[in-house]
């Protein structure tokens, strides 16, 4: 079997097939369930509120997916080093590119599982409203490069520092900064700096797209710049991770 | 009903002898429910809020289409307004009244099974893995997931909502 798929299968197996591995999915579903249950208490929502709920659910799924990707990315090299398994892995007939791709595919599998798990929730809160299909499609299209980009960034830190805690804290702080549009409304981001930050921030690009598509019904062509931002983000972080993974810290 | 779209058609004709310069046409929405009369912010109702024209020659017309998505229940009136650069007076069209009926957008019978069912399903799979041999649990995982998928399908049929649409 191709070493990339072998590593990816091992990584995905750790997350999905191990006896207690599903605990993270249970926690993930508990978060989405809590959010969905909060909505039940509001008996009468307008269509706009409903679209807002779908938008918030999509944002929550992407944020949680990014956190999972960051944690897995931090474990990719530094975790192997701390478990004393990195040196044997580097001595195996596997190139650094294959190792990185295998780890990245493992992160993708986790994101895929989280995305699939979010489907019933998106349906439950959004089926009576507007453009649920668009929310699902755009979450895949924009959420995937953002989440995998954070996974790659965490892998880069993990390979360079060789320390899980350091890379985890660093990556989470960067994720917190990027995810600030979830907490800070568009009004407070209306300054020049806020607009520049929004234009460069892949997380904001994805969130603004969910807003534009789900709430404002904008077309796909208007989202192309934002889509480019998210894929440039993925490309840059993958390149950084690739450079870092060529000479990981293993001592 | 909420979620539907309405299309309004407006025709503005210059019946005067002179051209009208700097013409601006815009749409207004007013809620007229008793006790809740207020002008509405069109931001989420319509992406097409105004039409401008540099000049409208005598006898010529300006036809516009106004597409509106119905967001919230209530009784509303739509009016089209026209203003020009050289005249201070604003002209308004006759109002059109319409009623938006409520559509249940968040249903507890859809949310509750999902909110409790999904964590329960994952918990059951974890328990099965704890107490069953690997190969048996692999089969039961699949069977359980198929049962849950079938359950969601039945729920979607009962709630009358298409699994992927409104």
Least confident of A84-88, A101-105, A165-169, B139-143: B139-143
Looking at B81, B100, B119, the residue that finishes a domain is: B100
Q: Is a pLDDT exceeding 80 seen at residue B27?
A: yes
| Gap between the Cα atoms of A29 and A47, Å rounded | 25
Asked whether residue B29 is assigned to any structural domain, the reply reads yes
CB-CB under 8 Å, B119 with A29: yes
Same domain, B95 and B141: no
Asked whether residue A92 is assigned to any structural domain, the reply reads yes
Q: What are phi and psi of B115, to 5 degrees?
A: -60, -35
**Mean pLDDT across B66-77:** 87
Residues near A239 by beta carbon (within 8 Å), at least 6 away in sequence: none
Least confident of A206-220, B16-30, B74-88: A206-220
Report the CATH number at residue B82. Answer: 2.60.40.10
Question: What per-residue confidence (pLDDT) applies to A129?
Answer: 64
Question: What per-residue confidence (pLDDT) applies to B131?
Answer: 76
Kindly report the average pLDDT of chain A as a whole number: 85
Question: What per-residue confidence (pLDDT) applies to B165?
Answer: 40
**Mean pLDDT across A75-86:** 83
Kindly report the average pLDDT of chain B as a whole number: 80
Asked whether residue A33 is assigned to any structural domain, the reply reads yes
Q: Are A82 and A167 in contact (CB under 8 A)?
A: no
Same domain, B87 and B59: yes
pLDDT digits (tens, 9 = 90+) for A112-147: 999 999 999 988 887 766 678 888 999 999 999 999
**Mean pLDDT across A25-32:** 91
CB-CB under 8 Å, A46 with B164: no
The interface residues of chain B toward chain A in range 39-58, judged by CB-CB distance below 8 A, are 44, 47
Q: Quickly state the pLDDT bin for A78 (edges 50, 70, 90).
A: confident
Q: Is a pLDDT exceeding 90 seen at residue B81?
A: yes
pLDDT digits (tens, 9 = 90+) for A186-198: 667 777 888 888 8
Mutate to test the interface with B, among A124, A138, A217, A219 (most CBs of B within 10 A): A124
Question: What per-residue confidence (pLDDT) applies to A82?
Answer: 81
Query: DSSP letters of B85-119?
Result: SS--PPEEPPPEEEEE-----S-HHHHHHHHHHHH
CB-CB under 8 Å, B152 with A47: no
Question: What per-residue confidence (pLDDT) applies to B26?
Answer: 93
Q: Counting one residue from A and one from B, how many pairs have CB atoms under 8 Å apart? A: 121
CB-CB under 8 Å, B115 with A216: no
Asked whether residue A159 is assigned to any structural domain, the reply reads yes
Asked whether residue A239 is assigned to any structural domain, the reply reads yes
| Gap between the Cα atoms of B9 and B18, Å rounded | 25
Count structural domains, chain B.
2
Asked whether residue B166 is assigned to any structural domain, the reply reads no
Same domain, B152 and B131: yes
Asked whether residue A251 is assigned to any structural domain, the reply reads no
Same domain, B41 and B87: yes
Least confident of A150-154, B22-26, B105-109, B123-127: B105-109
**Mean pLDDT across B128-154:** 63
Same domain, B10 and B81: yes
Mutate to test the interface with A, among B40, B114, B125, B137 (most CBs of A within 10 A): B114
- The two tokens of residue A223 are 């989202």
Asked whether residue B11 is assigned to any structural domain, the reply reads yes
Mutate to test the interface with A, among B74, B118, B120, B148 (most CBs of A within 10 A): B118
- Comparing A67 with A35, the larger pLDDT belongs to A67
Q: Report which of B14, B9, B26 is spatially closest to residue B82, judged by C-alpha positions.
A: B26
- Comparing A85 with B154, the larger pLDDT belongs to A85
Question: What per-residue confidence (pLDDT) applies to B161?
Answer: 46
Distance in Å from the first CA to the final CA of chain B: 12
Asked whether residue A194 is assigned to any structural domain, the reply reads yes
Q: Report which of A194, A98, A201 is spatially closest to residue A149, judged by C-alpha positions.
A: A201
Q: Quickly state the pLDDT bin for A35 (edges 50, 70, 90).
A: confident
Chain B touched by A23 (CB under 8 Å): yes
Q: What are phi and psi of B112, to 5 degrees?
A: -60, -45
Question: What per-residue confidence (pLDDT) applies to B164?
Answer: 41
Same domain, B83 and B115: no
Chain A touched by B103 (CB under 8 Å): yes
Question: What per-residue confidence (pLDDT) applies to B79?
Answer: 93
Q: Quickly state the pLDDT bin for B127 (edges 50, 70, 90).
A: confident
Residues in chain B: 166
Same domain, B24 and B61: yes
Residues in B touching A29 (Cβ below 8 Å): 118-119, 122
Same domain, B12 and B74: yes
Chain A touched by B72 (CB under 8 Å): yes
CB-CB under 8 Å, A136 with B164: yes
Same domain, B64 and B113: no
Same domain, B112 and B96: no
**Mean pLDDT across A51-80:** 89
CB-CB under 8 Å, A218 with B47: yes
Question: What per-residue confidence (pLDDT) applies to A176?
Answer: 93
CB atoms within 10 A of CB B89: 7
Chain B touched by A132 (CB under 8 Å): yes
**DSSP E strands: which ranges in chain B?**
5-13, 20-31, 38-39, 50-56, 61-69, 74-83, 91-92, 96-100
Nearest residue in chain A measured CA to CA from B116 = A33
Chain B touched by A30 (CB under 8 Å): yes
Asked whether residue B14 is assigned to any structural domain, the reply reads yes
Count structural domains, chain A.
1
Same domain, B148 and B91: no
Which residues form the domain of B25? 5-100
| Gap between the Cα atoms of A137 and A217, Å rounded | 14
| Gap between the Cα atoms of B18 and B14, Å rounded | 8
Q: What are phi and psi of B6, to 5 degrees?
A: -115, 145
How large a percentage of chain A has pLDDT more than 90?
A: 39
- Comparing B150 with A80, the larger pLDDT belongs to A80
Same domain, B47 and B92: yes
Q: Report which of A81, A98, A111 is spatially closest to residue A6, judged by C-alpha positions.
A: A98
Question: What per-residue confidence (pLDDT) applies to A229?
Answer: 94
**Mean pLDDT across B96-121:** 82
Residues near A143 by beta carbon (within 8 Å), at least 6 away in sequence: A58, A61, A62, A65, A111, A115, A206
Q: Is a pLDDT exceeding 70 seen at residue A1?
A: no
Residue among A19, A39, A48 minimizing CB distance to B111: A39
Which residues form the domain of A240? 3-246
CB atoms within 10 A of CB A103: 28
Q: Are A201 and A142 in contact (CB under 8 A)?
A: no
């Amino acid at each position: 079997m191709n070493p990339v798929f072998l590593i990816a299968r091992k990584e995905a197996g750790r997350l999905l097939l191990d006896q207690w591995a599903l605990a993270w999915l249970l926690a993930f579903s508990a978060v989405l369930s809590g959010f969905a249950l909060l909505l039940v208490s509001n008996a009468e929502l307008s269509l706009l509120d409903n679209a807002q709920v779908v938008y918030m659910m999509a944002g929550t799924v992407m944020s949680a997916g990014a956190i999972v990707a960051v944690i897995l990315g931090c474990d990719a090299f530094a975790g192997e080093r701390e478990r004393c398994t990195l040196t044997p892995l580097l001595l195996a007939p596997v190139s650094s590119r294959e190792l990185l791709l295998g780890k990245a595919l493992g992160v993708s599998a986790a994101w895929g599982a989280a995305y699939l798990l979010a489907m019933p929730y998106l349906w439950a809160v959004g089926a009576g409203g507007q453009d649920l299909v668009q929310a699902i499609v755009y979450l895949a299209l924009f959420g995937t490069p953002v989440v995998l980009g954070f996974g790659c960034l965490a892998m880069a830190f993990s390979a360079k520092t060789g320390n899980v805690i350091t890379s985890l804290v660093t990556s989470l702080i960067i994720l917190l900064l990027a995810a600030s549009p979830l907490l800070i409304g568009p009004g407070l981001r209306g300054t020049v700096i806020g607009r520049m930050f929004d234009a460069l921030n892949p997380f904001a690009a994805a969130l603004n797209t969910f807003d534009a598509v789900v709430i404002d019904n904008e077309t796909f062509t208007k989202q192309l710049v934002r889509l480019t931002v998210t894929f440039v983000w993925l490309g840059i972080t993958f390149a950084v991770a690739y450079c870092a993974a060529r000479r990981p810290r293993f001592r | 009903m909420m979620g539907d779209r309405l299309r309004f058609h407006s025709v503005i004709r210059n019946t005067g002898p002179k051209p009208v310069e700097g013409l601006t046409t815009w749409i207004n929405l007013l809620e007229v429910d008793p006790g809740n009369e207020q002008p509405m912010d069109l931001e989420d109702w319509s992406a097409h809020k105004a039409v401008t024209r540099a000049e409208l020659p005598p006898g010529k017309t300006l036809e516009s289409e106004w597409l509106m998505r119905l967001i919230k229940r209530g009784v509303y009136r739509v009016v089209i307004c026209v203003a020009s650069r050289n005249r201070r007076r604003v002209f308004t069209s006759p109002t059109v009244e319409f009623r938006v009926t409520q559509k249940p957008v968040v249903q507890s019978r859809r949310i509750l099974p999902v909110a409790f069912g999904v964590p329960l399903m994952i918990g059951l799979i974890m328990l099965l893995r704890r107490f069953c041999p690997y190969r048996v649990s692999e089969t039961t995982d699949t069977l359980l997931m198929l049962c849950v998928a079938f359950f969601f399908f039945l729920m979607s049929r009962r709630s009358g909502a298409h699994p992927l649409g409104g």
